[in-house]
Structure 1
Amino acid sequence: MKKLNTISATILFTTTVFSASVFATGQHTLALSHYGSPSDTVTKATELMAKRANELSNGRITIKLHPNSELGSSDTQIDGTRMGTIDIVVVGNPYYTTFNEELNLLDLPFLFRDEEHVEKVLSGEIGSELLKSLEKSNLKGLAFYEIGFRDITNSKKAIKSVADLSHLKLRTTPNPAHIAAFKEWGANPTPMPFNEVYFSLKTGVIDGQENPVHHIYNNNLQEVQKYLSLTHHAYTAAPMSMNLDSFNALDKEDQDILLKAAKEGAELEKKLNREENQVYLNKLKEQGMEVEESPDTSSFQAGAKLTWDDYAKKFGNQYIQKIIDTK
């Protein structure tokens, strides 16, 4: 486990009061933390999961939700789950890659063609193996939630091709593939926690950021951004994982209930994202965002391929090829 700094450790240990699981007389109270705002689809999905887990267990399992990063930034939340001060977490895949580099696979730019392609990969052998890989980090992968296909916003100019990214200071995730790609594309990538993004955009610390349309709208980024380009340059999964010790302490029936409820929540989130993206895109236009709907994504391909090659040097090309070949 990576060494936590003093501040992060203090935050994590103080959250124990919120998140300690109760395993008494067969009753389980679990704390679930995530990044989503009250209107975000991940909030609706985890509410369904909590409801279904309680129903399926006849009240034995209670999941207490902590949305909107109220237990700390995404990296703090995932560290807390590994340590056991938080039971269940949903954060973007890039935050897992800081201790499980193999998961960089899912963040390689332009690797996934569309939502259907993503679903076939993550519901199959590759998805199962990647969730299983979390166990070496004291996490049990429950399901793949998602953030979705990422698009670029900024306050300076329309992004019609990769040349327009030159010198733009863009917030990215901490994922090495994202950072490397934006450097290749001429931008100045600036990793930071998402809960700092709105203020940083408003004050001009950064020029732009990249996230799916529904995430942009639900976090009001249109208030501090003028231009949106539908690059769909990378897909971001958001694995739901649970502290492995807490999961193993449950009996088999309750483990199966959590896995089933987690999957139902993930299915709802993906359905809502598909339905809401076009609605929110229209609302962003109505609220004054200038939208480039057909940027020249071919101009991004050379930089993207370099990140594929970097991954293959570390982990081989087998997973990449399997994903490409998935129809």
Structure 2
Amino acid sequence: MHRRTLLGGAAACLLAAPTVVRAQAPITLNGAVQFNDDHVFNRTLLRFEELVKQYAGRPVNFVLHRNSSLGLEKQYFEYMSAGRAVDYGIVSPAHMSTFSRAAPFIDAPFLFRDLAHWNQVMDQDLLAPVAQEVERRARVMLIGYAGGGVRNIFANKPVSNMAEMRGLRVRVQGAPIWNRTFQAAGMAPQVIAYNEVYNAIQNNVLEAGENEAAGVLAMRFFEVAPNLAMTQHAITVRPICFSAQTFARLPREVQEAVRRAGREAGVFGRQTESTEDGQTLARLEGEGRLRRIPFTDRAAMLAAVAPVMATYAREIEAENIFARINALNS
């Protein structure tokens, strides 16, 4: 019996034809990550690799393409959906909106009250309906959930309240909910590529961006925007994704290993990032590279965006998920 092997190589091999080998030959899975070895996403994917090898009961080879060598998360998701070049990776839900209108909502700003609330949502698997829709329409499986970083606004000037925030030119993710909520809070959100944010602030095209500690550190945003307004407007949800077409070609024992490893690696990623988040900010501040600024109008900001969140949930038919999330007591 013959079986197609999974695509290998880097960007030059994106369209290469699969090679036919014997069924018991080692399987090769290609992953992709935007960041370097120190970033929690990279470490989470290495944990996934380690667990698959532990549970599969047969040889499985992994090639993890680091430092955006195969592009950015949006491209990774497209490759996984097409069943070529990238078999697994961590992707922001914002990049899934073409296939699921509700997907970006699970990572929306102002959705979670605090980290305890966020953990309840993860533990009770309230995001399952979105995962099912993404798999059905995009042919990409969400096999685990990493994330847990609290997102704040980094700016080239101090921002401590709603008045100082008014008109702030801030980079946001491409999903419509980010534009709407940041506009409702009085800012002037703009969508540009993630890897262009640093230069845009440096050249005064933007005044600010928003990110969790791991991203601020990895992209060195503190060099151009050292003022961190502690808005705590979002807690990240970063699904570990796996191509459904790749998955269908795997032997059953490897499929089971992938599912189990995805769940466990997601827990590892959440625990790691949520633990390191505050530690990273404290270290950067202690080194004089970043200044944390208390944000005094968080309640007013939440009140301003609440109607937008409710309206958007209705528009994308995510009212049930939104209601169940809000009903949890953290």
Q: TM-score, normalised by structure 1?
A: 0.88
Choose between structure 1 and 2: higher helix proportion. 1
Q: Look up the SS of the partner of 1:119 in the other structure.
A: helix
Which residue in 1 is equivalent to 2:71? 72
Aligned runs of 1:18-33 on 2, under 5 Å?
A: 24-26=22-24, 27-33=26-32
Which residue in 2 is equivalent to 1:197? 197
Q: Look up the SS of the partner of 2:99 in the other structure.
A: coil
Which residue in 2 is equivalent to 1:217? 217
Provide, for residues 183-218 of structure 1, a one-character-per-residue CA deviation record: whole Å limited to 9, x for no partner.
122222111222222232233332111011232123
Take 2:92 and 2:148, find their aligned partners in 1: how far apart are those partners? 7
| Higher deviation after alignment, 79-88 or 308-317 | 308-317
Residues 120 and 95 (structure 1), Cα distance of their counterparts in 2 relative to 1, 3 Å cut:
same
Deviation at 1:15, TM superposition (A): 4.6
Aligned runs of 1:1-327 on 2, under 5 Å?
A: 14-16=12-14, 24-26=22-24, 27-85=26-84, 86-135=86-135, 136-146=137-147, 148-155=149-156, 157-285=157-285, 286-314=287-315, 315=317, 317-327=319-329
CA contact (8 A) 2:83 2:243 kept: yes
Provide, for residues 69-98 of structure 1, a one-character-per-residue CA deviation record: whole Å limited to 9, x for no partner.
211122112111111122112111111123
Residues 247 and 289 (structure 1), Cα distance of their counterparts in 2 relative to 1, 3 Å cut:
same
- Alignment size in residue pairs: 315
Quick one: which amino acid aligns to residue 71 of structure 1? L
Kindly, what percent of the aligned residue pairs are identical? 21
Provide, for residues 123-162 of structure 1, a one-character-per-residue CA deviation record: whole Å limited to 9, x for no partner.
324222222221121111211122632100010x222122
Gaps of 5+ in 2: 1-9
Quick one: which amino acid aligns to residue 179 of structure 1? N
Deviation at 1:284, TM superposition (A): 2.0
| Higher deviation after alignment, 312-321 or 85-94 | 312-321
CA contact (8 A) 2:150 2:277 kept: no
Gaps of 5+ in 1: 1-11
Take 1:233 and 1:13, find their aligned partners in 2: how far apart are those partners? 36
Quick one: which amino acid aligns to residue 211 of structure 1? N
Quick one: which amino acid aligns to residue 317 of structure 1? E
Provide, for residues 241-285 of structure 1, a one-character-per-residue CA deviation record: whole Å limited to 9, x for no partner.
111111112222211101122222222222221221222111221
Deviation at 1:179, TM superposition (A): 1.1
Take 1:20 and 1:311, find their aligned partners in 2: how far apart are those partners? 42
Provide, for residues 46-80 of structure 1, a one-character-per-residue CA deviation record: whole Å limited to 9, x for no partner.
11111221232245222211122211122112111
CA contact (8 A) 1:29 1:64 kept: yes
Q: TM-score, normalised by structure 2?
A: 0.87
Query: What is the alpha-carbon root mean square deviation over aligned residues?
Result: 2.3
Quick one: which amino acid aligns to residue 290 of structure 1? R
